[in-house]
Amino acid sequence: MPEGKTENAGWPLGQGVRVAARDGNGLAALVKPAGLLSHPNGPKDRGRSLLAAAYDDRGECYHWSGGGRERRVYLLNRLDSVTSGLVLCAEDPAVAEAVRALFADGLVDKTYLALVFGVMRPPRQVWKDRLGVRKGGGKLRASAGEGVFAETAARLLRSFPARVPVSLLELKPRTGRTHQLRVQCGDRNLPIIGDQTYGKFSWNREHVRGGGAKRLHLHSAEVSLTYEYRGKRHRFEASASLPPEFNIGR
């Protein structure tokens, strides 16, 4: 398939999932809506996952029978279920291995958009923190103060006046830590709207009462990387437009 084509190639896409980009080596960027899992945690989750297929935890891939053969699609990164946007997948295990190595080495450029309460000043910042993660009640929770290093470049795109001002931020994580962006925003009194873990709960309720969407307003908007495959370097870029619920104040 030529580069730039976005057909689903027979993949059983989950509800509301679409293909943003796909190259000739079978590397694809899928756009998932908020509420869908990057992969099922069990058979009961197939109806609310990125692909409507069985998932192999060890191989980190979806699999199903199609066209008289066993099909596999490898999951290359993950988003929290409450986050919308781009997730990368690959059909070829060699492509999957190459791209996973780039993620592990921090060589994938990622851009997120977040709608937050408050106005960031100054409008361009680099956030550097130590994040620790603990597990309780079957859930992971991160906190700033100690742990692994986390860094994000943040930029204010626009703000909307209100009793509690609201801003749209561009966030470029240079590390990939658990709940990194959510914790860093909350720790700077810029809680992401709809965050039920690190957010401002009373402001969330007020936002919904005013007609806002009841979701975490965090969106994986752009991804770009260069990977090697069969002795050649390949550039891959994808973008996912901002969901309509982010477009407030207009």
Q: What is the C-alpha separation between 121 and 128, in angstroms, rounded?
A: 16
Q: How far is CA 121 from CA 8, 118, 139, 164, 172, in A?
A: 42, 10, 33, 15, 17
**Cβ(40)–Cβ(49) under 8 Å?**
yes
Give the Cα separation of 221 and 10 in Å (integer). Answer: 24
pLDDT at 239 over 80: yes
Lowest mean pLDDT among 8-12, 54-58, 210-214: 8-12
**Which one is catalytic: 23, 56, 80, 92?**
80
Average pLDDT over residues 3-17: 74
User: 6: pLDDT confidence band, cut at 50, 70 and 90?
Assistant: very low
65-69, 172-176, 204-208: range with lowest mean pLDDT: 65-69
Question: What is the chain's length?
Answer: 250
SS3 183: helix
The structure's pTM equals: 0.92
User: Where are the domains positioned within the chain?
Assistant: 111-218
pLDDT at 9 over 80: no
In whole angstroms, what is the distance from residue 169 CA to residue 13 CA?
30
Sorting pLDDT into bands at 50, 70 and 90, what band is 8?
low
Banded pLDDT at 27 (limits 50, 70, 90): very high
Per-residue pLDDT tens over the stretch 122-150:
999 999 999 998 887 667 888 888 899 99
The pLDDT assigned to 175 comes to 93
The residue with greater pLDDT, 4 or 40, is 40
**pLDDT one-digit tens code per residue, 190-207:** 999 999 999 999 999 999
Residues 145/130, Cβ–Cβ less than 8 Å: yes
Q: What is the pLDDT of residue 45?
A: 86
CA distance 56 to 58: 6
Q: Which regions of 58-187 does DSSP assign to beta strands (E)?
A: 61-66, 69-75, 84-90, 109-117, 124-136, 139-144, 148-160, 166-173
**Confidence at residue 47, expressed as pLDDT on a 0 to 100 scale:** 85
1 vs 17, residue with greater confidence: 17
List the CATH code of the domain at 111-218: 3.30.2350.10
Q: Which residue has the higher pLDDT, 67 or 190?
A: 190
pLDDT at 162 (0 to 100): 85
For residues 248 and 209, give the distance between their C-alpha atoms in angstroms, rounded to a whole number.
14
Banded model confidence at residue 4, pLDDT cuts 50, 70, 90: very low
Q: Which two tokens stand for residue 114?
A: 């977040």
Instruction: Verify whether residue 109 is a known catalytic residue.
Output: no
Q: Is the pLDDT of residue 1 over 70?
A: no
pLDDT value at residue 249: 60
Confidence check: pLDDT of 38 > 50: yes
For residue 3, is pLDDT > 80? Answer: no
